[in-house]
Amino acid sequence: MQSNNIKNSEIIKFYKKNQTQRLDIVRSFANLNDLEIQKLKQFNSLNFTCANRMIENVISIMPLPLGIATNFKINNIDYLIPMAIEEPSVIAAASSAAKIARKSGGFIASSTESLMIGQIQLTNVKDLSFAINQIEKNKKEILNQVNQCDSILISLNGGAKAIKYRIINTKKQTMLIIHLIVDVKDAMGANIVNTMVEKISPFLEKLTNSVSILKIISNLPVYRIAKSKAVWKKELISEKIIQRILDSYQLALHDPFRCATHNKGIMNGIDALAIATGNDFRAIEAGAHAFACLTNKYQPLTKYYLDENQNLVGEIEMPITAATIGGITQTHETAKICLKILNVKTSKELAQIMASLGLAQNFAALRALVTDGIQKNHMKLHSKNIAIAAGASEENVDAISNMMCKQNNISISNAKELIENYANK
Ligand code: MEV
């Protein structure tokens, strides 16, 4: 098998190729077999039995388009990135940001160990220092008990590693919140962490003479952080645009109304990759936005500044609970294929790709916003949806959407009028 570092994800005009040509490229890039190609080609990788095993009351499935972002080089490895998303422009934008970034070496990414937090809420605590003291004295025993929950995780050097405390004052009482810090390795971690905190809470109640209420994972995993950085050269994007991007970034820094949209653009990329790989994108979203206001002021997840040569440097830092095992990552056929396309070895590597994709997405959105605005391109791509919504048939959808673009009037009413004219021709 070809090793990843000699692969080239810079694929000229991928968007102009047909489905078979695109699949051929992905097949040879990722060494996909005939069955995998067939599954992708047939658009039917989730059958009723499989779906019915995942959730309750299944009646059908809700498919999303799966596309490929090209041009990504992250830590010197080329990646084709699968993205499941319904919004036009997102994949093209990420690919174009990655294309410029690779001219200066691509993305440099890193991530911490996969440490998740399990919370146990102890209420009616009579004596806080006695309670903390008791837990400290029995720490070894506590870690030992919870680590019996998953022998495979322990054999991989994962498992519960530490205990931390938070004291939360409410009107009614002061509560002691125990944080169990668990290295979940390549899993998302909710199952193992929740099992551990539920198991240990009766022991903690007894030790501390308290009543435990909530025992659940925290979706703000501040010890499971991914970072990425890229440089966009001034000669490739212009000094004027760089200045405008920096000005636009200032608005996100100082205004939560803009910052929410700024961060939403980042999550366009991260969520699309999370969905493609069968990851829990709601958990990643929750962590991202909670992290963004950890200082009590909602902040952008990225930052931008100039390097010594006046090039634009972008950085992202955020918690990412990416998994390469567990959940549906290995039971959903498409998720399995997407992980194979990425050829990721660990959840840490997947988190680094997500962070880099989020940064690329953010840069691309800012660049579009400070130049043409996003509507021009976006509406061009969206014009086909509008034509269909207005009643265009498969046969005339392209013609109607082209006419709307030419007239610079992309709307349902115009589409309806054009469809009528078309029919009467
Ligand atoms: C649209 O889905 C995302 C953007 O609004 C992000 C941004 O404004 O930075 C374009």
169-206 per-position pLDDT tens digit = 999 999 999 999 999 999 999 999 999 999 999 999 99
Delimit the CATH 3.90.770.10 region(s) of the chain: 14-110+225-372
Average pLDDT score over the chain: 95
- Of 378 and 167, the structure prediction assigns the larger pLDDT to 167
What was the pLDDT predicted at 423? Answer: 75
Alpha carbon of 224 to ligand 1 centroid (Å)? 26
| pTM listed for this prediction | 0.92
Choosing from 255, 262, 370, 376 the residue with most ligand 1 atoms within 8 A of its CB, the one to mutate for a pocket test is 262
Q: Strands of 174-183's sheet, edge to edge?
A: 159-169, 174-183, 115-123, 211-217
DSSP, res 87: -
CA distance 343 to 80: 9
Tell me the one-letter amino acid at 361: Q
Other CB atoms within 10 A of residue 369 CB? 17
Is residue 366 within 8 A of residue 79, CB to CB? The reply is: no
Binned at pLDDT 50, 70 and 90, residue 215 comes out as very high
Pick the CATH number of 115-217 from 3.40.640.10, 3.40.50.720, 3.30.70.420, 3.90.550.10: 3.30.70.420
pLDDT digits (tens, 9 = 90+) for 84-107: 999 999 999 999 999 999 999 999
CA distance 380 to 401: 8
Atom of ligand 1 nearest to the CA of 262: 9
Delimit the CATH 1.10.8 region(s) of the chain: 376-423
> What kind of fold does domain 376-423 have according to CATH?
Helicase, Ruva Protein; domain 3 (1.10.8)
Delimit the CATH 3.30.70.420 region(s) of the chain: 115-217
Q: Find residue 162's DSSP bridge partners.
A: 181
Residue with tokens 């998302």, as numbered in its chain: 188
Choosing from 262, 264, 268, 377 the residue with most ligand 1 atoms within 8 A of its CB, the one to mutate for a pocket test is 264
What was the pLDDT predicted at 1? Answer: 42
Is residue 107 within 8 A of residue 56, CB to CB? The reply is: no
CA distance 38 to 43: 9
3-class DSSP state for residue 157?
Answer: coil
Atom of ligand 1 nearest to the CA of 368: 10
CA distance 383 to 396: 13
Alpha carbon of 127 to ligand 1 centroid (Å)? 50
Q: In the chain, pLDDT over 70 holds for what percent of residues?
A: 99
Alpha carbon of 265 to ligand 1 centroid (Å)? 4
What was the pLDDT predicted at 229? Answer: 98
DSSP, res 219: S
Atom of ligand 1 nearest to the CA of 366: 9
CA distance 67 to 34: 19
CA distance 53 to 132: 43
Instruction: Name which residue sits closest to atom 6 of ligand 1, judged by CA.
Output: 265
Residues classed as catalytic: 87, 264, 280, 378
Query: Which runs of E-coded beta strand occur in 157-241?
Result: 159-169, 174-183, 211-217, 225-232
Alpha carbon of 369 to ligand 1 centroid (Å)? 8
CA distance 235 to 210: 64
- Decide if pLDDT at 318 tops 50: yes
What was the pLDDT predicted at 5? Answer: 52
* Domain at 14-110+225-372: CATH code: 3.90.770.10
Which of 325, 321, 317 minimizes the C-alpha distance to 358?
317
- Decide if pLDDT at 372 tops 90: no
Is residue 318 within 8 A of residue 309, CB to CB? The reply is: no
Instruction: Name which residue sits closest to atom 1 of ligand 1, judged by CA.
Output: 265
Choosing from 244, 250, 257, 261 the residue with most ligand 1 atoms within 8 A of its CB, the one to mutate for a pocket test is 261
Is residue 196 within 8 A of residue 215, CB to CB? The reply is: no
Alpha carbon of 25 to ligand 1 centroid (Å)? 30
Which residue ranges have their beta carbon within 6 Å of ligand 1? Answer: 87, 261-262, 264-265, 268, 365-366, 369, 374
Alpha carbon of 261 to ligand 1 centroid (Å)? 6
